[in-house]
Every structure is written in structure tokens, then in C-alpha cells.
């Protein structure tokens, strides 16, 4: 994949934050965009921005990734209409911070349906199609939280650990079909994600020196399309922190508990 121009790219979680910025950067490069999320009115806003600013081609496909039947229906329509999907960017996801013993387990089930099970279902459909064509790129947006767990993020971190593990196995399975699989693991990003994850803002305050903008993350994601890149961890200091954590887990636990714990 030497150029993104005229490639068909399906973005989930495209109504705001990282997904919205990915759409703009791809629109600028001439991609044909499929924009999915639950909020149709917000998707229409993003689409109009893509058209006005970049004269881009964009299709709005409202979708709840946790709804298996809806995923099947939307995928079938897209394939009939477009004939192919060149790139899938699994960006949809959310998180909550809470002591695990205080969790309503239904909340955990819902988070896994969105963050991992819904992503797996879409990926299975698209990957089977890409195998037929012997080409494609699947990009799964994980999180540094899937590599370094922090207090009060047991459910969110475990869902992102699952994203990384799934991606690593899928990469090996699809290698012989010339299909690339990349995991992008951002640290904290200043988006509406934190409205639910960190309602009082105390977590963001503690990690403000590491906080990324949606534009920064989107830029890294778009830059990796078509490249044989296994994983992208940003910011760089978080990659260093993960390697330190792996080598010195006891010290890492102490630092994580004292730096990232929300009191």
C-alpha cells in the first residue's frame, strides 16, 4: 500500500476525539472514509467537515460495535456498496475508573463488549474479506494501560491487555496473506474519554505531563498505514516506562501505585 489516496478506510469511534482527527488526516490524503460510531449527528458533522475542508468522500454508518447483528448488517451493506475495505481502524472504546470490588459486573461486561468483543467481531468479518484479496491493514487502538496497569483501572486495563494479545496473535495468523496488523497504544489523551474515565479530573492532573492531543495520536496512526509496523507506543516516555516496568516489576509497582493512583 504505497499511497492512501482512494483507499477505503473504515474508522470506528469516528464521531469525536482520536477517531475524528484520524478522519480529517485521511480526508486530507484523499482516502474514502467510512465513519462509524453510535451518534449519527456527530458523524454527519465530521463528514461535513471532511467535505468542506478537503472535498473528501465519506460515508456515515452509525454503528454500535457491541451489537453483533448490527455489525453483520452494516458490514454486508458496505461490502455490497463498496466492494472492498482496504484499512480497518478499530478505535471505538471507553473506560471507567473504580475499585474493582465496587464494580457492577454488568459495567465490566459492557466494557468488554465494546473494547474487545465488538472489535473482534468487526475484525473477523473484515479479515476474512482481506484474506480473499491477499492485502489489507488492520489497526487496533489499544492503550498503554494494556501494558502498564494502574490502580482503579482493572477492568479497562484488562480489556486493553486483551486487545494487545488479540492483535499479536492475529498478526501471526494473517502474515502469510500480506495483511498487516498494528497495535497503537497511546498514553492519556485529552478527549471526552476522560469525562467518564476521570470525572473529577484528578487522574489527568497527575499525568498532565504525559497527556497527548488527539491530533498527535491520529498523526501516528495515519503515518503507520501501509507499513509493516508491529506496535506503536506513545508518548516515547511511556515506552521507556514499560521496558523499565518489565525489567524491574517490584519498583514499577511502587512507582505506578504512588504516581497514578487516584486518591
Cell of 104: 457492577
The pairing of strands 136-141 and 179-186 is parallel
Q: Identify whether the C-beta of residue 153 lies closer than 8 Å to the C-beta of residue 145.
A: yes
Assess whether 156 carries a catalytic annotation. yes
Helices 17-28, 214-224: crossing angle, 10 deg rounding = 50
Instruction: Kindly report each contact of residues 231-235 with a partner whose C-beta sits within 8 Å and lies 24 or more positions away, as own/partner.
Output: 231/164, 231/182, 231/183, 231/184, 231/185, 232/182, 232/183, 232/184, 232/185, 233/144, 233/147, 233/185, 234/184, 234/185, 234/186, 234/187, 235/187, 235/210
**CA separation for the pair 259, 238 (Å, rounded):** 13
Catalytic residue among 156, 177, 203, 245: 156
Torsion angle, CA of 4/166/144/118, rounded to 10 degrees? 80
**CA separation for the pair 218, 194 (Å, rounded):** 17
Please tell me whether residue 213 adopts helix, strand or coil conformation: coil
Would you please indicate which residues are annotated as catalytic (active-site) residues? 156
Amino acid at each position: 500500500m504505497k499511497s492512501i489516496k482512494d483507499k477505503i478506510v473504515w474508522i470506528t469511534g469516528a464521531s469525536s476525539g482520536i477517531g475524528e482527527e484520524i478522519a480529517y488526516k485521511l480526508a486530507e490524503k484523499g482516502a474514502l472514509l467510512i465513519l462509524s460510531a453510535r451518534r449519527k449527528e456527530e458523524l454527519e458533522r465530521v463528514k461535513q467537515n471532511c467535505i468542506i475542508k478537503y472535498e473528501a468522500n465519506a460515508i456515515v454508518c452509525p454503528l454500535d460495535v457491541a451489537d453483533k447483528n448490527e455489525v453483520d448488517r452494516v458490514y454486508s451493506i458496505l461490502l455490497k456498496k463498496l466492494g472492498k475495505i482496504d484499512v480497518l481502524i478499530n478505535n471505538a472504546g471507553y473506560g471507567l475508573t473504580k475499585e474493582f470490588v465496587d464494580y457492577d459486573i454488568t459495567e465490566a461486561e459492557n466494557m468488554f463488549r465494546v473494547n474487545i468483543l465488538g472489535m473482534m467481531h468487526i475484525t473477523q468479518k473484515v479479515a476474512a474479506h482481506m484474506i480473499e484479496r491477499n492485502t489489507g491493514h488492520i489497526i487496533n487502538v489499544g492503550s498503554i494501560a494494556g501494558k502498564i496497569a494502574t490502580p482503579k483501572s482493572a477492568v479497562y486495563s484488562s480489556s486493553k491487555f486483551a486487545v494487545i494479545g488479540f492483535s499479536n496473535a492475529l498478526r501471526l495468523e494473517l502474515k502469510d496473506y500480506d495483511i498487516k496488523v498494528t497495535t497503537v497504544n497511546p498514553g492519556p489523551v485529552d478527549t471526552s474519554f476522560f469525562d467518564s474515565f476521570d470525572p473529577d479530573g484528578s487522574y489527568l492532573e497527575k499525568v498532565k505531563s504525559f497527556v497527548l492531543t488527539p491530533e498527535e495520536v491520529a498523526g501516528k496512526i495515519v503515518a503507520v498505514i501501509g507499513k509493516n509496523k508491529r506496535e506503536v507506543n506513545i508518548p516515547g516516555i511511556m515506552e521507556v516506562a514499560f521496558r523499565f516496568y518489565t525489567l524491574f516489576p517490584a519498583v514499577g509497582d511502587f512507582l505506578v501505585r504512588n504516581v497514578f493512583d487516584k486518591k
